[in-house]
Amino acid sequence: MLHFQLLGTRGSRPILDQNYVYFGGNTTAYKIWAEGNFPIYIDGGSGLFREGSRLQPEVKEFSFLLTHSHWDHILAFPFFAPFYRPETCARFWGSRSFKETFEELFKHQFQTDAFPVNYAEIPATITFTTIVGGQSFEIPPPPRFTQENCLSNTHHSYHISTYQINHPGLDLGYRIEHKGKTIVILTDLAPIKNNYLGPGMEDFGAVDEDRYYEGLIAFCRDADLLLHDTHFNEESIRGKERWGHSTEIMAVKLALESQVKQLILGHHAPEDNDQCIFRKLHNAQKYCQKTALNVIIPQEDEIITIS
Ligand SMILES: [Zn+2]
Ligand SMILES: [Zn+2]
């Protein structure tokens, strides 16, 4: 059994308005955990702030996967309360940016010009591992979790695969597997057709385009749950194909081609109110109504369980 919680549902920037209450206004952060196992957090958008403030101090160990370092995915890290406790141990896995490692970018968030607390003053122990697209690895339980629960590492490890996706900057998709259950996270990504955005994509040709998309289908293949960027809809993407985001129909097509069981439409534009998002959901459900695919848009903080 795997649980998936949407701590933040938005892209770009947070929003608070009476027409945004149903789906919420915090930016991207997700939490995944198997029953009785330690959680993995994906990204640190503003949705992570509330999680940090409500966790009991007894929760001391954290594991983070970072998709990419755009502001909407990292802005809550300096405000994450557990980093200000000396007992906290946090492990990060993330890709390089254009020039630097995520570790260097993370520390820049705590520079005097940007934030009043310097990184050297953070009492938590934080470690960083740089990964690249295509890499697979295990996330073993944090040491204290294994000791306190008298468990073996292998029983509770998560298996992670990565895929570099088409977005300005280096952006990784994550496939998270545990005991036969699979969740895939694809945020943020743009249509690939004649539209190559990230480093390493400069020399793309039509052959590579097909190879990239076939690789993406294989990456999502048979997942129980796919979270897919749908910042745009079929109208709002016009003229913005190079902004690095997808529509609900692109998400449904990939989910169908990959034979995914359940699709979550995520990373909503801050311009889209609840009514717009319901319309996006309706369009997606209509497009795949004769198939077995289940398309949903959970509310902020909602927990989806895969059993
Ligand atoms: Zn984003
Ligand atoms: Zn982005």
What does the pLDDT read at residue 205?
82
What does the pLDDT read at residue 305?
98
239-276 burial string, b = 16+ CB within 10 Å, else e?
eebebbbbbbbbbbebbbebebebbbbbbbbbebbbeb
Calculate Rg over the CA atoms of the chain: 19
What is the Å distance from ligand 2's center to 236 Cα? Answer: 17
Rounded (10°) CA dihedral 120, 27, 254, 239: -110
What does the pLDDT read at residue 281?
98
What does the pLDDT read at residue 97?
72
Element (H, E) at 186: strand 181-186
Checking if the pLDDT of 4 tops 80, the result is yes
Residues with CB under 5 A from ligand 2 (ion): 70, 188
Closest ligand to residue 69's CA: 2
Give the C-alpha separation, 95 to 74, whole Å: 13
Six token digits for residue 5: 């919680």
What is the Å distance from ligand 2's center to 227 Cα? Answer: 15
What does the pLDDT read at residue 286?
98
What does the pLDDT read at residue 91?
97
Six token digits for residue 24: 């919420």
What's 254's domain CATH number? 3.60.15.10
Is 118 buried (19+), middle (13-18) or exposed (0-12) by CB count in 10 A? exposed
Closest ligand to residue 29's CA: 1
Checking if the pLDDT of 144 tops 80, the result is no
What does the pLDDT read at residue 100?
83
What is the Å distance from ligand 2's center to 59 Cα? Answer: 29
Checking if the pLDDT of 146 tops 80, the result is no
What is the Å distance from ligand 2's center to 219 Cα? Answer: 20
Domain that holds residue 18: 2-306
Rounded (10°) CA dihedral 277, 284, 198, 80: 40
Location of structure tokens 């993406």: 216
Closest ligand to residue 11's CA: 1
Please state, for a pLDDT cut of 90, what percent of the chain lies above it.
84
Query: Using 50, 70 and 90 to split pLDDT, how confident is the model at 153?
Result: low
Per-residue pLDDT of 91-105, as tens digits, reads 999 988 767 889 999
Query: Using 50, 70 and 90 to split pLDDT, how confident is the model at 169?
Result: confident
Element (H, E) at 278: helix 274-287
Checking if the pLDDT of 26 tops 70, the result is yes
What is the Å distance from ligand 2's center to 73 Cα? Answer: 7
Give the C-alpha separation, 303 to 301, whole Å: 6
Per-residue pLDDT of 253-295, as tens digits, reads 999 999 999 999 999 999 999 999 999 999 999 999 999 999 9
Give the type of residue at 280: K
What does the pLDDT read at residue 74?
96
What is the Å distance from ligand 2's center to 168 Cα? Answer: 7
Checking if the pLDDT of 154 tops 80, the result is no
Report how many domains make up the chain: 1
What is the Å distance from ligand 2's center to 158 Cα? Answer: 25
Checking if the pLDDT of 132 tops 80, the result is yes
What is the Å distance from ligand 2's center to 119 Cα? Answer: 24
Checking if the pLDDT of 207 tops 90, the result is no
What is the Å distance from ligand 2's center to 244 Cα? Answer: 7
Closest ligand to residue 28's CA: 1
Residues with CB under 5 A from ligand 1 (ion): 11, 72, 188
What is the Å distance from ligand 1's center to 87 Cα? Answer: 31
What is the Å distance from ligand 1's center to 299 Cα? Answer: 18
Q: Which of 148, 110, 137 is nearest to 126 (CA)?
A: 110
What does the pLDDT read at residue 204?
80
What is the Å distance from ligand 2's center to 95 Cα? Answer: 13
Checking if the pLDDT of 203 tops 80, the result is no
Closest ligand to residue 229's CA: 1
Give CA separation, 223 vs 58, 185, 227, 257, 270, in Å: 33, 10, 10, 11, 28
Query: Using 50, 70 and 90 to split pLDDT, how confident is the model at 221?
Result: very high
Checking if the pLDDT of 52 tops 90, the result is yes
Helix (H, G, I), strand (E, B) or coil at 41: strand
Q: Is 24 left (phi over 0), alpha (psi -120 to 50) or beta?
A: left
What is the Å distance from ligand 2's center to 167 Cα? Answer: 7
Higher-scoring residue by pLDDT: 219, 153: 219
